[in-house]
Chain A
């Protein structure tokens, strides 16, 4: 067979790009995570101009472009604004491993906050069991086990007798 008749071999080069990072939480996120870790509390921050309470707390209100000033304690309870049931084993980029599907997660607006927080829902992954508008409550790791990141929230539990 002539060289030009042979089907061309195509080479793939497998490679893992593994870049190490160490992220500074910064002043605002640090306070949020410390309150969560040490006191089991959620804090948002209020913009002095538009008054909206933002979570996670951050240096500037993006809408008003002024520094946020007032810390506001938020309820451990909140309302489910959106949800989904994940069936795909998507890679968690912080661990390189997937969460085991199917699992439910949603967007919760804690009482007092204008922002939402995405987290796991402790509800069976069945559509009929989850409703937008449900009241839910954060369940945290026990105090001695908390580390100061969002995994200190285990999940949100539906509040019984809604």
Chain B
């Protein structure tokens, strides 16, 4: 019976705006083969089950895991599909191992945003009775949240722009990122407005890619690698659905998810006890809002936080050293990529964008517009 769960291997595709050379099955196989190769494991001998993460509507495939059954080693074996952000796949896979039924799980998330239209897909997440006909998508909903949050908490355009500047500059050193560069605040503020106050550079770009990782029970993990990354705590929570039922300047679901994860881990002072954060800033303002939800700072303090350099690469608590979602990570893969990047930080393998000697990392992902469902995973070296 396992007491703890660890991540023993991680693989990511080079993210890019369009992978016309592969279908998503072939794209998924790239990372599956890579992570099996790195860990020296095989599906038949070592892997008990698979947890995949994708959506019918994104893939244009009824029961989208049909498309990856072959490559994930699903034939005649156990595979289950999360229809949420990839961070939840880690959460679910960990629960499976903690239950005692599985010792080793292969986790995969994939999306080819290039094969469809993000706005149309997003729009189908709105209920067909009241809100879908308004033509809302995640960007316009996020714009509503950004406006509300920035108004209530006195966050400025410049502070949100600093998130973009920081993350795209961090991405310069991330070999798998595709949206990268050294920009000024003015350049970010000069980008065309898409849905006020969101400008083009505030929005994570369309990306194709996949991430795979392997998780194992404590005993098995120690046999596979000398540097397992332990899942120390995790939590999820659902907020209300209708935007009007929520105060968009807050993210209660994230606070609840974080509280659950921190309780499991024993964290009482997140800003001091956490060494690095990889969070899901699909839109620039979200980095600030999620930092408040994660308890890294008090409500309304995230603007001052980024002003002070606390979350910079060389700051006290680097946030998104990988470049975050703004550097180009596909929807749905997002949270799994955050966990993967957090794991790479802890094993010292974050090539080019390594933070100095982190011991505790937090990865966060969300599903549903304006982050209605939140998932927080706390990872550690020991």
Given A17-B124, A19-B117, A24-B112, the answer on whether A62 and B23 have CB atoms closer than 8 Å is no
Q: Which of B23, B114, B120, B121 contacts A26 (CB 8 A)?
A: B23
Interfacial chain B residues near A13, Cβ < 8 Å: 128-129
* B43, B69, B70 pick with most chain A CB within 10 angstroms: B70
How many chain B residues sit at the interface, stated as a range, is 20 to 34
Contact of A19 with B70 in the complex, beta carbons under 8 Å: no
A22 CA / B29 CA spacing, docked (Å) = 20
A23 CA / B43 CA spacing, docked (Å) = 28
Q: What distance in Å separates the Cβ of A24 from its nearest Cβ neighbour in chain B?
A: 5
29 A-B Cβ contacts within 8 A?
Answer: A13-B129, A17-B124, A18-B120, A19-B60, A19-B117, A21-B60, A21-B116, A22-B116, A24-B19, A24-B20, A24-B21, A24-B23, A24-B24, A24-B115, A25-B23, A26-B21, A26-B22, A27-B22, A28-B26, A58-B25, A59-B25, A59-B26, A59-B70, A60-B29, A60-B70, A61-B70, A62-B69, A65-B43, A65-B75
A27 CA / B69 CA spacing, docked (Å) = 18
Interfacial chain A residues near B121, Cβ < 8 Å: 19
A137 CA / B44 CA spacing, docked (Å) = 39
Contact of A22 with B115 in the complex, beta carbons under 8 Å: yes
Contact of B42 with A65 in the complex, beta carbons under 8 Å: yes
The 10 closest A-B pairs by CB, nearest first: A26-B23, A62-B70, A62-B75, A21-B60, A26-B26, A65-B43, A24-B23, A59-B26, A21-B116, A60-B71
Given A19-B117, A20-B116, A24-B21, 4 new contacts (CB under 8 A)? A13-B128, A15-B128, A19-B57, A59-B25
Flag A84-122 by CB within 8 Å of B: 1 or 0 each.
000000000000000000000000000000000000000
Contact of A27 with B21 in the complex, beta carbons under 8 Å: yes
Interfacial chain B residues near A10, Cβ < 8 Å: none
Dominant secondary structure at the A interface = loop
A26 CA / B42 CA spacing, docked (Å) = 25
Interfacial chain B residues near A62, Cβ < 8 Å: 69-70, 74-75
Question: Does A63 belong to the interface (CB within 8 Å)?
Answer: yes
Within 8 A of B (CB), among A13-62: 13, 15, 17-29, 58-62
Contact of A19 with B21 in the complex, beta carbons under 8 Å: no
A28 CA / B121 CA spacing, docked (Å) = 28
* A20, A28, A62, A65 pick with most chain B CB within 10 angstroms: A65
A residues with CB within 8 A of B: 13, 15, 17-29, 58-63, 65
Q: What distance in Å separates the Cβ of A29 from its nearest Cβ neighbour in chain B?
A: 7
Q: What distance in Å separates the Cβ of A61 from its nearest Cβ neighbour in chain B?
A: 8
Contact of B26 with A27 in the complex, beta carbons under 8 Å: yes
Interfacial chain A residues near B71, Cβ < 8 Å: 59-60
CB nearest to A29 among chain B residues: B23
Q: Which of B29, B70, B115 contacts A21 (CB 8 A)?
A: B115
Question: Does B132 belong to the interface (CB within 8 Å)?
Answer: yes
Flag B128-149 by CB within 8 Å of A: 1 or 0 each.
1100100000000000000000
CB nearest to B120 among chain A residues: A19
A105 CA / B120 CA spacing, docked (Å) = 34
Question: Does B73 belong to the interface (CB within 8 Å)?
Answer: yes
Contact of B115 with A19 in the complex, beta carbons under 8 Å: no
Interfacial chain A residues near B42, Cβ < 8 Å: 65
Contact of B115 with A15 in the complex, beta carbons under 8 Å: no
Interfacial chain B residues near A59, Cβ < 8 Å: 25-26, 29, 70-71
A18 CA / B74 CA spacing, docked (Å) = 30
Interfacial chain B residues near A65, Cβ < 8 Å: 42-44, 73, 75
CB nearest to A61 among chain B residues: B70
Q: Which of A18, A20, A23, A61 contacts B23 (CB 8 A)?
A: A23
Within 8 A of A (CB), among B62-85: 69-71, 73-76
CB nearest to A63 among chain B residues: B75
CB nearest to B44 among chain A residues: A65
A61 CA / B73 CA spacing, docked (Å) = 10
A13 CA / B60 CA spacing, docked (Å) = 24
Contact of A20 with B75 in the complex, beta carbons under 8 Å: no
A13 CA / B129 CA spacing, docked (Å) = 7
Contact of A15 with B70 in the complex, beta carbons under 8 Å: no
A65 CA / B24 CA spacing, docked (Å) = 17
A61 CA / B44 CA spacing, docked (Å) = 13
A59 CA / B44 CA spacing, docked (Å) = 18
A29 CA / B21 CA spacing, docked (Å) = 11
Flag B94-133 by CB within 8 Å of A: 1 or 0 each.
0000000000000000001011110011001000110010
